[in-house]
Amino acid sequence: MSTAVPGTTAVREVSVFGDAIAYFNEAAALLNLDPGIKAILTHPSRQIIFSIPFQRDNGGIEVYTGYRVQYNFARGPAKGGIRFHPGVTLDEVTALAFWMTWKCAVVDLPFGGGKGGVTCDPSTLSMSEIERITRRYAAELVEVIGPDKDVPAPDVNTTPQHMAWIMDTFSMHVRQNTPGVVTGKPLEIGGSRGRVEATGRGVSIVALDEMARLGIDPKGARVIVQGFGNVGGVAAKMFQDAGCTVIGISDVTGAYVNTNGIDAAGAMAYAQEHHSLDGYRGGDKMSNQSMLEVECDVLVPAALEKVLNIDNASRIKAKLIVEGANGPTTPEADHIFAKNGIIVIPDIMANAGGVTVSYFEWVQDRQGYFWKEAEVNARLEEVLLDNFAVLREIAQSRGISYRTAAYMVAIDRVVKSLKLRGVYA
């Protein structure tokens, strides 16, 4: 099955974007959106494609393709990461920018959605080559990014160092120091304390709040986390600190399960030392898919998209699923979970901690005043729980899932901004 990507003539296999459109349509139907408004919201505001010629260390010249999609500006500057990956396409970047629009809106941030990328394989490039590509990418976008236009951040295969290069390149072009052009920067040049841990922390914040509503005592609650990178690893440690028993963790090398409990902090230290969990002896090894089907109280898919699907949904034995990754659940699986009484906290709510603290970083850069980490974490918890309460009330009053409620909240906020601003023609 295939679907046309809004704003393009391309056709692609239904993927995360297809799922996002399906979720959007379900919520939009409940909001009775005007067809014209719906048309605006399903088309990106701007798609930018450009060439990135650069010189290899050996003197050879190569050309990569760069992308930046600014999906919607109704609530403020576009916001979204930049990824360096050989599989980056305009379709993918458009889909992710679409998603960022709703993620920013559901936690009530004054941002629209954006995303960018370069079609390259960083593993084949030297650090100096990566720097040249990054700076050329930034230079091509000088006219369309900025603190009041579009604020990029790290994503797949990009880091605070990449953001430092982009900030410096942009600042040199505009002839003034502009730290607010990107977020996710090193602390020394305007980054925010708490940013690295923010997404994983946010996952644990909303999960523990929902566990309290469901009557699941953290002390002894069994948690499984698929994906042990920055999101999953931090979330696992936060769950453990709250008294939960982490019984399963995984990365690309496989899954590791111990029903007596895994030391999350120790596993993080092992993974950092060995660059993966390969060889970890704190649990019995099994496949990632098998681990998803182990009985638990809380399941956190924090790795890949579409891992919870029609093939395995009926075998999932969690009470609560908290989506740390983007798009880990297909619409078909979502319906099975609803039928089986499994609560799902959707990605646009569950993993919005990262963009929330990116917003805090943007605010601090504009103020020139930086907060202590405890203040960042307290503000993060307040933003997430206040907005989670809004969508929970809608879900309960209308008898719908948290996912549909989250999209309804996000779409409604964007539509209100759009209507107040009007359509300039």
Active site residue 79: no
For residue 27, the Cα-to-chain-centroid distance in whole angstroms is 20
The token pair at 226 is 């698929």
**E strand or H helix at 82:** strand 78-84
295-334: b or e for each residue (b if 16 or more CB lie within 10 Å)? Answer: ebbbbbbbbebebbbeeebeebebbbbbbbbbbbbbbebb
Q: Could you tell me the two tokens for 62?
A: 């190569």
Tokens of 256: 């590791």
- Report which residue type is found at 360: F
Structure tokens at 104: 């920013």
268 close to 229: Cβ distance less than 8 angstroms = no
Single out the residue of 148, 30, 42, 97 nearest to residue 397, CA to CA.
Answer: 30
Q: Could you tell me if 153 and 81 are in contact, meaning their C-beta atoms sit under 8 angstroms apart? A: yes
Written as six digits, the tokens of 279 are 């060889």
CA dihedral defined by 122, 128, 129, 134, rounded to 10 degrees?
80
H helices present in 275-401, as ranges: 288-292, 331-339, 347-350, 353-367, 373-398
Pairing of strands 150-154, 222-226: unpaired
Structural contact between residues 107 and 383, judged by C-beta atoms closer than 8 angstroms:
yes
Tokens standing for residue 247: 């019984």
Query: Are 202 and 379 spatial neighbours (Cβ–Cβ below 8 Å)?
Result: no
Q: Which of 68, 10, 76 is nearest to 44 (CA)?
A: 68
Over its C-alpha atoms, the chain yields an Rg (Å, rounded) of: 21
Of the candidates 115, 185, 237, 319, the residue annotated as catalytic is: 115
Known catalytic residues are 115
